[in-house]
Structure 1
Amino acid sequence: MSEAESNTTNAYDNVPPDIVQTALPFLSLEDIKNLSHTNKYFHKLLNYESSETLWHDLFHKAYGRPYSNDEPFQTKDSGELRTCGEVIMLQDFSSLSWQERFKVRTEQVKLYTWGCLKHGRLGYTANSNSHLSSNNLNSVGMRIKYGVNSPTMVPWFEESNSTDESAIVQVSSGGFAFQILTRSGKLYTTGSSFSGGHNGPGPKEGEHDYNPFREAVHDLETSFSRYRSIGITPGTFGVIPYGGTMHHGPTPTVGPHPNIYQDLEDMEKNAAQTIPGNSYIRRVFTRNCFDIFISDSHSFKVDKEKLDSIKFVAVSSGRSHFLALDENNNLYSWDSPDSDYGVRLSFKGLPSIDTNPIWKIGSGWDLNCIYVYKVGLIVWNKRDALKKGELASDVHYTIIPNTSDISGPGRVVDFACCQGDCVFFITNDRKILWVYSNGIVQQLRIPVEGEYVKVTVCFTILALFTNEKCYTIKIKNSKLDMSSLTELQLEESEDRIISLATGDYHTVALTSKGQIYTWGLESQLCGCLGLGSPESVIEEEHHGRWDSIRNMRVEQPTKVKLNDEYTCVAVCAGGWQSGALIMKR
């Protein structure tokens, strides 16, 4: 070995492990593997079988990169920056190595849902899920089933052994469905409709994206000569070709004809991917994956490799729409009941995503907001309708003023979308809540203890997290009702809320110990609180009261209890439904 090589090796040997760990997020798995073969020091530090440094980074890459505003840019706990899921895994599995935590998170965490059963939005029906017991159903008589009143495991890849396919990274919920992101980068949605028939922040009213299927079907029908027999006079028949003129004479003999829609039906069949054994969860794709959206030939060909070419890293759901970010920093929107195929979004006038990537995505009731590096918070509720030949839709966006700082007190730490044109956000100064509404940015000083670390919102409730406590405050017409400020307190005083999700009228909270608490209004026996049957909650446990004949209200955060001990690592809430990623102990 030369003196220069020896000096280089010694220099590498002196690189502290924390510096190596800081660099790991910027390296691919192949780069990490090559680095581990550089010398004995790096091999020991990055050994796949035993390295805590490597497995901590692998865990963070798979389950701790919060590209959606479910997590703030940074959450601080015990002196280290960690996501909520990492905080819980460290506390509940303190004796395990990072490799073992990775294995537990991958193999044991399952999706549970509860609430309204309509249209298969829970990922199952009352009759399709073997994990669902009759005691967990709110019903009237034997036939009418309203909702599931306790967290119930969703049938999910029960016939597959692939952890890449089945491991769930993130679950998000809109008004009418759940969106589920796997470690393989595939995106799924539950039920028959994510939009509920409502328009999201897509094309303005009266405009629609170009639909090549409608044009293709029209061309097929007009190119195929179909005949109808109509009576002219007794004993005489005329035949009018489809779209043609009257033809007199004997009616021609019409025999069986080929199915002119066969290619279209084959395309739909080849593109329809559901969970093995569960038809209530289907995979969603973007328009870019299909030749029919790209070419003028109305090609119904489905390229399976193209379907798998887009890998998503984050999803965020609004009332009747959702956003998804792919690994190449392209953003897609599902925002219309007209099509199930995502539309790629374009932001004219902004710098390239290569130099100014999207760091966070967030969906609100009827709008979206993203954070772009060195640009700031960008909000919109409309985009252009796609014309024929277009693959990207221009967004009608607004940049929220003074949100572009990447350091210092003005750097945005977290944001949450409300409704209309309203976004709440906090910055590095941690003492002021900011609100953007109708083109104006204002600061709000709310009497809370501690410094802000996180903000969450739905169209009726704002949740504020400080480094000491958690509060909620009611929203009406994008205005805060200061008199409704409430400090959230739990049954177990040594536990604390670290994450929170809200539906239309109910709230689901996750604690540092991985426990679930819920409260609010459970409408029409839908079961969205997950506390059990209303009769048990009200008459036996005395946690709630009847708000009307079929509405139950629980005022205080109440712990969700399951038959077995459990640890939850993520929660979400939609209109009248709730979801969680849970492992049984």
Structure 2
Amino acid sequence: MSSEESPTTLLDLPVDLLLLIFPHLDAASFLSLTSTCKALHNSDFAEDSAYWSALVRNQFRVPNQPVVQNDGRRWKRLYKRMRTQSKCYAWGNDDKGCLGHSFDLPNLPGQRRPVMRRSRHLSCPSVMEGTEQLGIISDMQSGGWSTTILTSKGALYSCGVMDGLQFNQRRPPYMQQPKKQPTALIFPVGMPHPKDRYEPVTAIKQFSSGRSHILALSDSGRIWSWQDIELRGVHVKFVHHTLKEDGREKGTGVVKKVVAGWNKSVALIEGSGLVVWEPIRLSQEESETSDAALVLLSTVVPRTQYVDSAPHKTSDGAVEGQDVGEVQSFIVLEDTILFNTSLGKVFAAVITWTDTVQAVSEPVELSIPVKGDTTAEASFVTDIQGSFRNFAVFTKAGDVLTSEQDRIMPLLTNQHTNRRLFTRIPALQNKQVISLAFGDYHFHALHSSGEITSYGYEPQSCGALGLGGHGVPEGRLRGVQNRGIGGDGHLVPHAYTEGRRVWFEKEKQEWISFITSGGADPQEAAARVRMAIGSPGPNAQGEVSEWIEQEGRDWETKFGIRGQGEEDDGLGAYFALSVSAAGWHSGALVLVNEDMAERLRKAVEVPERAPIETHEDPAQPTAESSQAPSSTNNTLPTNASILDRAADWGRYFLGLAPYNVNDAAYDPNSAHLRTNATTNANEASQTQNFGASPRPGYKYIWADDHFPRLRLSDGTEMPGEVEFDEWRFGRPEWRLGWEDEE
């Protein structure tokens, strides 16, 4: 280079070379580099998706999310919030303590001595106990009777029991004691726990929670298996497969992923394919003395060993498995294995496992139905997810198709059937669905917006949908219908047009409780309440529940919180990072912006009157900072009244008086919808508006709102004296017959 030529600068380097440099920088260095000039501060560089997604996944061990892997801005925001804001929520059936809660119901009226009553159900998300001191939570999964979480240090913690079918005793076969709070899963004697010291062989980078066991893959590539929270994990080895444990991500013998299914364990091993074996079961004595277990019986799913970068040719020169492609993701159901490949195809195979035969059938390709869009993206499968008997496939065009094991079984066993393989739920199509989590009868969808929607039904109204209302009618205003002797909670057909979101805000629970009680004037709203949640037909309930859904959809914007404060990064106060489900319960890993959540709480609380004293708590709202009409009711709900909602509502719909009202003097057409169970008969006429006030001297901003009055899509006008309500986002075009659509 001559002296007259200008020196080469960083910007003179090819873009591809810059992108190769980025992965070697930590976050501080990367931000410093991209801040040096406008060209590098451009979003193409400063929000490089490859850099930020790799940083979040490697540093915090967050699982990859294929749908949003190219959203650099999202990964950058997640990196900032993951450090301090990850919280674990759980809801549903709390059998054997699988939710990690020890909440107890309050005493019944008149009881003097405290009586502890453990709640068996949680119908709304609640933070798991004992997780705050565990550090940054990276992943969360639900098992049949357990919930397991992974920390950024690679440590696993589990609550409940792994195998709820084990006998409840301390002698063989040994009791699995329920753990009410997350308990560390331990390793063989002499091996350090990741929370104490980092070792590649014990630091977990990926795990899978099955029905009754857990599989995990360490940083070094070692497979670990647990069958009991109290017993030590066991190192899994194979007779017929040699594994490499040198930390590499590619190469023959490298384990890429493990999945714990309903009753089988499966690992994707490069050079071998999908290897299937039965979960390892050791006695307590064997667990204490063994550091490894040798799998004698295993089988490989045919045609799954192909790798794009290292094709294997057969004797006739053909490339073995090229027509199938390289396995990208796979799931293990009750009797089948399904996987998608690099060619955009999805295959399924039947597992046969007896005392004499351990085999997996030849994979059969599942045909992806194309509707309207005839491009290749419409049928190109990018991911597959599922558990037990349910699964879903994701296409490049943004479609999410759900199905069941029973639907595909005739195809896999060469039986004729006219039944369609897949269903298109309207609320899941082109809605940026990242993942689906399936329980026995319910499932959730996680959207890229950080929202979770619910589908299916909850047995015995156990709360698995997370929409509230176990034993009380709030769930009906969210679109849940109770059917059968057991009171199973089924979603109305309208809920599948736009979905029903799981709420994490406590204020929303108070608001829905207030609306369900009849609003500011329960007597005026009585006919509408009965029409919306007391009618056997789903139309009024479905449309009112959708109106409720729209009101709660953008809560921060509605109350002027969105876009305020330095901590508002566009993800909202509550942003779900992952969702899980199994059995009759669910869980979610949520990033909680405490600053926004606190500002939101203050925004919905206003004083009932100007304070007389000047010693107000500065953290509380003042009359000057909030202007809202005074509430006509400042009666506060009590713990006892919560227990009596179900009983009083049941009597109300039957035309009977509440338990604390004289039947002879009761007029069902003019009586108040709810009364405090501790109020005597002379005070029965006083209305109890639940969710109207957070504490003495304050009321919620909605305390004067009425129960919604709508014009329904069939032309029916809901009765009442108040004005008709408008739809916040417009009334949807209902697609109630979606199950019959091709």
On whether the aligned pair clears a TM of 0.5, the verdict is yes
Structure-1 residue corresponding to 2:81: 104
Q: 1:307 to 1:22 in 2, by over 3 A?
A: closer
* DSSP-derived class of the 1:107 partner: coil
The one-letter code sitting in structure 1 at the alignment partner of 2:121 is G
Q: 1:393 to 1:147 in 2, by over 3 A?
A: same
Whether 2:383 is the aligned partner of 1:454: answer yes
Structure-2 residue corresponding to 1:372: 269
Alpha-carbon distance, 1:284 to partner = 1.0
The one-letter code sitting in structure 1 at the alignment partner of 2:54 is H
Residue among 461, 479, 483 paired with 2:409: 479
Residue among 478, 485, 497 paired with 2:433: 497
Structure-1 residue corresponding to 2:341: 427
For residues 148 and 299 of structure 2, the distance between their equivalents in structure 1, rounded to whole angstroms, comes to 27
The one-letter code sitting in structure 1 at the alignment partner of 2:339 is F
Structure-2 residue corresponding to 1:345: 236
Structure-1 residue corresponding to 2:443: 507
* DSSP-derived class of the 1:60 partner: helix
Give a deviation string over 1:269-310, Cα, whole Å, max 9, x none: xxxxx9xxx96111111125469xxxxxxxxxxx96599972
The 8 Å contact of residues 92 and 465 in structure 2, kept in 1 or not, is answered as yes
The 8 Å contact of residues 234 and 290 in structure 2, kept in 1 or not, is answered as no
Whether 2:367 is the aligned partner of 1:445: answer yes
The 8 Å contact of residues 384 and 393 in structure 1, kept in 2 or not, is answered as no
Structure-2 residue corresponding to 1:183: 152
Alpha-carbon distance, 1:529 to partner = 0.6
Q: 1:24 to 1:150 in 2, by over 3 A?
A: same
TM-score w.r.t. the length of structure 1 is 0.66
Structure-2 residue corresponding to 1:153: 127
The 8 Å contact of residues 113 and 122 in structure 1, kept in 2 or not, is answered as yes
Q: 1:510 to 1:64 in 2, by over 3 A?
A: farther
Whether 2:577 is the aligned partner of 1:569: answer yes
Alpha-carbon distance, 1:432 to partner = 4.2
The 8 Å contact of residues 425 and 435 in structure 1, kept in 2 or not, is answered as no
* DSSP-derived class of the 2:83 partner: helix
Alpha-carbon distance, 1:361 to partner = 1.6
Give a deviation string over 1:95-145, Cα, whole Å, max 9, x none: xxx6654121322232111111233211112239xxx9x9xxxxxx99463
Structure-2 residue corresponding to 1:242: none
For residues 198 and 479 of structure 2, the distance between their equivalents in structure 1, rounded to whole angstroms, comes to 55
Structure-2 residue corresponding to 1:234: none
Q: 1:423 to 1:349 in 2, by over 3 A?
A: same
Whether 2:206 is the aligned partner of 1:314: answer yes
For residues 263 and 408 of structure 2, the distance between their equivalents in structure 1, rounded to whole angstroms, comes to 13
Q: 1:582 to 1:378 in 2, by over 3 A?
A: same
Q: 1:143 to 1:543 in 2, by over 3 A?
A: same
The 8 Å contact of residues 201 and 220 in structure 2, kept in 1 or not, is answered as no
Structure-2 residue corresponding to 1:167: 136
Whether 2:185 is the aligned partner of 1:284: answer yes
Whether 2:473 is the aligned partner of 1:536: answer yes
The 8 Å contact of residues 188 and 234 in structure 2, kept in 1 or not, is answered as yes
For residues 62 and 484 of structure 1, the distance between their equivalents in structure 2, rounded to whole angstroms, comes to 36
For residues 377 and 433 of structure 1, the distance between their equivalents in structure 2, rounded to whole angstroms, comes to 12
The one-letter code sitting in structure 2 at the alignment partner of 1:425 is F
For residues 434 and 198 of structure 2, the distance between their equivalents in structure 1, rounded to whole angstroms, comes to 39
The 8 Å contact of residues 460 and 475 in structure 1, kept in 2 or not, is answered as yes
The 8 Å contact of residues 517 and 559 in structure 1, kept in 2 or not, is answered as yes
The 8 Å contact of residues 139 and 151 in structure 2, kept in 1 or not, is answered as yes
For residues 25 and 216 of structure 2, the distance between their equivalents in structure 1, rounded to whole angstroms, comes to 22
Q: 1:352 to 1:538 in 2, by over 3 A?
A: closer
For residues 429 and 364 of structure 1, the distance between their equivalents in structure 2, rounded to whole angstroms, comes to 25
* DSSP-derived class of the 2:212 partner: coil
Alpha-carbon distance, 1:17 to partner = 5.1
Structure-2 residue corresponding to 1:244: none
Structure-2 residue corresponding to 1:394: 294
* DSSP-derived class of the 1:456 partner: strand
Whether 2:553 is the aligned partner of 1:553: answer no
Structure-1 residue corresponding to 2:218: 326
Q: 1:415 to 1:107 in 2, by over 3 A?
A: same
Give a deviation string over 1:74-107, Cα, whole Å, max 9, x none: x255xxx44xxx67x62xxxxxxx6654121322
Listed as ranges, the matches of 1:41-440 within 5 Å are 52=46, 57=51, 60-63=54-57, 75=66, 81-82=69-70, 90=74, 101-127=78-104, 143=117, 145-158=119-132, 160=133, 165-191=134-160, 193-198=161-166, 280-289=181-190, 310-334=202-226, 336-337=227-228, 340-353=231-244, 354=246, 355-356=251-252, 357-383=254-280, 390-395=290-295, 396-407=297-308, 410-420=325-335, 422-438=336-352, 439-440=360-361
TM-score w.r.t. the length of structure 2 is 0.53
The 8 Å contact of residues 200 and 220 in structure 2, kept in 1 or not, is answered as no
For residues 351 and 173 of structure 1, the distance between their equivalents in structure 2, rounded to whole angstroms, comes to 30
Q: 1:178 to 1:520 in 2, by over 3 A?
A: same
Whether 2:518 is the aligned partner of 1:581: answer no
* DSSP-derived class of the 2:403 partner: strand
Structure-1 residue corresponding to 2:663: none
Listed as ranges, the matches of 1:3-22 within 5 Å are 15-16=13-14, 18-22=16-20
The one-letter code sitting in structure 2 at the alignment partner of 1:283 is A
- CA RMSD in angstroms, aligned pairs only: 4.5
For residues 308 and 428 of structure 1, the distance between their equivalents in structure 2, rounded to whole angstroms, comes to 29
The one-letter code sitting in structure 2 at the alignment partner of 1:415 is F
The one-letter code sitting in structure 2 at the alignment partner of 1:358 is V
The one-letter code sitting in structure 1 at the alignment partner of 2:151 is T
Q: 1:582 to 1:42 in 2, by over 3 A?
A: closer
- Structure that is richer in strand per residue: 1
Higher RCO (C-alpha 8 Å, min separation 6): 1
Structure 1 stretches of 5 or more lacking a match?
Answer: 4-8, 91-97, 135-140, 200-206, 212-273, 292-302
Alpha-carbon distance, 1:54 to partner = 9.1
For residues 112 and 338 of structure 1, the distance between their equivalents in structure 2, rounded to whole angstroms, comes to 20
The one-letter code sitting in structure 2 at the alignment partner of 1:540 is L
Alpha-carbon distance, 1:582 to partner = 1.7
